[in-house]
Structure 1
Amino acid sequence: MQAGVAPNAGDGFKNIQAIDPLLAGNERTVAVNAAKLADFKARFRMDVNLETFNKISGTAKVKSWYTTWQTLVPKPVAMPQEWMDVDLPPKMWTMMTAAKENRSLARRVYQEEMAEAQERFQKEKARVQAKLDAALADTSSDYVRLLESGFNDLSVSDVVAIESAQSKEKREELLEARLVTLRKRWIALMEAGQPLPE
């Protein structure tokens, strides 16, 4: 059997797959030993008892198969007392834990894929933003600044005066008036060939 290739039942790994992970203590030992001897028979076409098996398990002809077999022994799964108290059948607990593991795996895969997607999005966002910045820089001019002038171009004193107004109507009136003053000043600067203030 090649490394990295999952063994199949014909290789002598069938009975180990049937071991109940909920078994514990002597019951588990008996089940593991029985599966071990049955799979040895399936693999090597001969019957041996446990004592003989233990003597030959480290030999060159058996060791490779047995090492793989040991890695496939189902890990014991203890049922919590709270489920024992409600008489949950062991098979149901095994199915429940398997389903939980599958759901946990699905969530981990989701989180990994989302992280990758977010990374791709951030890179694409940066690319598009850089493209926009370059396009805006190429078309920037005093005429554009005048056209797009607004609240954020007003002085601090103008902003304070507007925000201190007692009503929405008064704020809108002040905003319009202060923008008119600002734009007239900018137009005068442009006609005089002077740069607009930053």
Structure 2
Amino acid sequence: MAKTTNPPHQPNPLNAARYLLSAHEARQLPPDDGAEVAFAGRSNAGKSSALNALAGHNALARVSKTPGRTQQLVYFEVKPKQWLVDLPGYGYAKVPQELLAHWQAFIDRYFQTRNALKGLVVVMDIRHPLKDYDRLMLGYAVRRGIPAHALLTKADKLGRGQQAETLRKVKNELFSAFGDTVGVQAFSAESRQGVEEARAVVAGWLGL
């Protein structure tokens, strides 16, 4: 019988990610001739923790219990002209109406016109998935023909049976709304569940 060997450990293609800039207006964005993957999610859904886990850093993105902490588009450079983009957390309450309007217009223009955008990751707490804003963000991507991937975070908070049932329901609802254009997986930055799978999706979109 042939001897089997474990595959060698694959290096993390996102490990070189470093903070580049924060943009509050379109003119502050990097030149639109690269490749970037955007991360969106409701406040406290675990977006910053997911970014940190995928990049293999403890503090690439700032983790905060204060809703709405990310109030700009934050760019992390993986390689020249290859970026991860942390979008403003949505679902916050204590934000002036005019600032909300500015962010909405900025994000809307970003999704409509940004050629470098190659994929969108929407982060949702597995215990509270598919809120209205989650559907809105996924709709942005689908209308542009950009691939999207839903991360059901904090999966360690549920048992395997509950995880599987939630995953099934979310997959069915997204298929009904968007067809097979949106990927879905369970994820936990705490237990590392699904980290390699999600990392492969993002790295593939960036061409790494």
Which has the higher Rg, Structure 1 or Structure 2?
A: 1
Larger helix share, 1 or 2: 1
1 or 2, which has the higher strand percentage? Answer: 2
Q: Check whether TM > 0.5.
A: no
Give the TM-score normalised by structure 1: 0.19
TM-score by length of 2: 0.18
Q: Which has the higher contact order (CA 8 A, sep 6+)?
A: 2
